[in-house]
């Protein structure tokens, strides 16, 4: 179990992943009656117009949800005006390549927390990852505690266990977070140390209904890395970062200067305040371990609008339920 401010040796692909479950026994039922849990799927949905601006004012009648190409009945619908609390995990890369810009990444992490979290409503947690995974501050709405946690980072580690950090944070922290669940990764490189794979990280994020955003600082801020241009996806590591975010409903930002970084933070904040939250009970409610593809479409004449949400989930019994 993660402990705040405790160094945890990176345990890549967890030795005991939550096993798919098909049924549960109610501990209160002494007769041994089997109780089948009722699953709900919750989708944070972002809608963009052709200029890339967030679209507000839509209603439940503007959306159609498909699971494996089959229409689903929407049970609940809300928009940004209902202002659900957001639980944000900030995961900061402290691998060797960040040593020269550690102070900058620390300031970036704090600026992001200040930009995104709303006082007395949202909560943030702070974790670092290199060859070890360290939860430095559990979820809190106290900015002084978060500042202290960020400032406690003194040196870089020796490897990059990105996927392990995401798996561990989702598995141990996001399952019970009573609000919208978001991870923001600040990193400058690809994973070099995890036993968990890219698809493991995507799977656990989808199962815990966690949206992932990434800020790539690889291009550098005091000069560019040779062959790397700011704002470009240039190699397999960049493409994996994009896939990680896209499959969970988020997006990746490849920044090259401080102003671009601040714009990225502001855009994430605006997106979180502009989302629609939809829940539905799948028509196929079997826990059979299959992957369920989700498509969200807009009804009527909505030419040029783009919809972004997570692309699916694995139907296993340890999925969190959306109905809080």
Each residue of 96-144: pLDDT tens digit?
988 888 888 898 899 999 999 988 899 999 999 999 999 999 999 999 9
pLDDT higher at 236 or 148: 148
Reduce the DSSP state of residue 242 to 3 states and report it.
Answer: helix
pLDDT value of position 152: 96
Distance, CA of 236 to CA of 113 (rounded, Å): 29
Average pLDDT across the chain, whole number: 83
pTM of the model: 0.84
Distance CA 227, CA 243 (A): 22
CATH 3.40.50.410 in the chain, residue ranges: 84-272
Asked if 51 and 218 touch (Cβ cutoff 8 Å), the reply is no
When pLDDT is averaged across residues 28-56 and rounded to a whole number, the result is: 74
Cα-Cα-Cα-Cα dihedral sign, residues 137, 142, 144, 146: positive
Confidence class for position 300, pLDDT limits 50, 70, 90: confident
User: Which pLDDT does position 69 carry in this prediction?
Assistant: 97
Pick the closest to residue 251 from 7, 46, 39, 16 (CA basis).
46
Please give the residue that has the higher pLDDT: either 38 or 179.
179
Check residues 301 and 169 and name the one with the higher pLDDT: 169
Confidence of residue 321 (pLDDT cuts 50, 70, 90): very low
Q: How far is Cα 133 from Cα 95, in angstroms, rounded to an integer? A: 11
Superfamily (CATH H level) for 84-272: von Willebrand factor, type A domain (3.40.50.410)
């Amino acid at each position: 179990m993660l402990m705040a401010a405790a160094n945890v040796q990176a345990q890549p692909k967890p030795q005991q992943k939550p096993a798919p479950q098909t049924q549960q026994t109610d501990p209160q039922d002494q007769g041994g009656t089997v109780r089948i849990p009722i699953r709900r799927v919750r989708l944070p949905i972002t809608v963009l117009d052709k200029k890339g601006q967030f679209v507000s004012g839509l209603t439940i009648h503007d959306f159609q949800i498909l699971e494996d190409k089959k229409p689903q009945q929407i049970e609940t619908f809300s928009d940004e005006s209902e202002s659900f609390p957001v639980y944000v995990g900030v995961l900061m890369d402290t691998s060797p390549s960040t040593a020269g810009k550690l102070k900058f990444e620390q300031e970036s992490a704090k600026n992001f927390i200040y930009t995104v979290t709303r006082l007395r409503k949202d909560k943030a947690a702070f974790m670092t990852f290199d060859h070890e995974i360290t939860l430095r501050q559990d979820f809190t709405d106290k900015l002084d505690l978060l500042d202290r946690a960020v400032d406690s980072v003194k040196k870089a580690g020796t490897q990059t266990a990105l996927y392990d950090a995401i798996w561990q944070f989702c598995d141990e922290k996001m399952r019970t977070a009573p609000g919208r669940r978001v991870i923001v990764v600040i990193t400058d490189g690809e994973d070099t140390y995890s036993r968990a794979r890219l698809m493991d990280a995507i799977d656990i994020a989808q199962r815990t209904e966690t949206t992932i955003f990434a800020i790539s600082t690889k291009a550098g801020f005091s000069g560019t890395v040779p062959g790397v241009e700011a704002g470009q996806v240039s190699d397999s590591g960049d493409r994996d970062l994009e896939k990680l975010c896209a499959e969970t409903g988020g997006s990746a930002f490849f920044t090259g200067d401080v102003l671009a970084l601040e714009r990225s933070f502001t855009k994430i904040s605006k997106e979180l305040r502009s989302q629609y939250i939809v829940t539905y009970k799948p028509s196929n409610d079997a826990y059979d371990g299959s992957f369920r593809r989700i498509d969200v479409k807009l009804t009527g004449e909505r030419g040029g609008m783009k919809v972004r949400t997570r692309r699916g989930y694995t139907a296993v019994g340890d999925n969190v339920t959306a109905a809080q």
